[in-house]
Amino acid sequence: MTRDLSTPDPSNAGPLIKLEGVRKVFYTDEMETHALADVHLEVQRGEFVEVMGPSGCGKSTLLAVIGLLDTPSEGEYWLDGRSMSAVGPQERARLRNRHIGFIFQAFNLIGDLTVLENVELPLSYRGIQLGERREQSLQALERVGMSHRVDHYPGQLSGGQQQRVAAARAVAGNPLVLLADEPTGNLDSTNGEAVMGLLRDLHEGGSTILMVTHDPRYSRYAERTVHLFDGRIVEEGVALRRAWTEDS
């Protein structure tokens, strides 16, 4: 029987995420666009990795492949030791729902659902009973400092608060990895720093985080920075970090 990734495999000492020779090509009637070209990347359990690069360099495409929203044109991708190459659409959707948490630039909250209902929604797709999913959602909202807003609607919240709710929705199901796509892109500098502080706290609590951004101000929050240019990884290095006390 193939392991379903319901829990991390304690016997697997390898990377949580591994890409080898990944390419992604988009075809139209007139041209082909090489969004990713021969990408090799590993992310270890508990790491906070930042992928930086200019707009159009392939950052969001890379995140879509890792998040099982898209498939590579060539190459291999392993998630927690399991190859994703032969995984069909239904299984990809199941794995995505159970094991990958997404934090998007645009928040993607549903306006006519309350904060609590927004966080509960992905858990309901798993068939989790109401009482259990409510408990998990309340715990996640407490974790991001939004438990006092459970009955509010997204339109009643600031941008920074909406992103905190989006983070709660991402962590409520205890995913293997959090994928953050320009999580500060729609925020002012104050709220951007607050959201990055939240991601730092989630990482210190044990979360594995892969974040894409074009803003070098936030490099200090990551343990490692990967630079992407024209679909290729051109540089890797340890991110410059300040002591957390300097941020207070």
pLDDT digits (tens, 9 = 90+) for 195-215: 999 999 999 999 999 999 988
User: Model confidence at 240, in pLDDT bands (50, 70, 90)?
Assistant: very low
Alpha helix stretches (DSSP H) within 49-180: 59-66, 89-99, 115-124, 130-143, 159-171
234, with CB counted inside 10 A (0-12, 13-18, 19+), is exposed
pLDDT in tens, 26-36: 998 888 899 99
The residues spanned by each domain of the chain are 33-247
Q: Does residue 147 surpass a pLDDT of 90?
A: yes
Cα end-to-end distance, the chain, whole Å: 50
Predicted pLDDT of residue 126 = 87
Q: Does residue 234 surpass a pLDDT of 50?
A: yes
Predicted pLDDT of residue 246 = 42
pLDDT in tens, 125-143: 888 999 999 999 999 999 9
44, with CB counted inside 10 A (0-12, 13-18, 19+), is middle
Q: Tokens 């002012």 map to which residue?
A: 188
Which residue in 124, 115, 100 sits closest to 148, CA to CA? Answer: 115
Element (H, E) at 191: helix 189-204
Q: Which CATH class is domain 33-247?
A: alpha beta
User: What does the pLDDT average to over 25-48?
Assistant: 93
Rounded CA separation 138/226 (Å): 34
pLDDT in tens, 75-91: 999 999 999 998 999 99
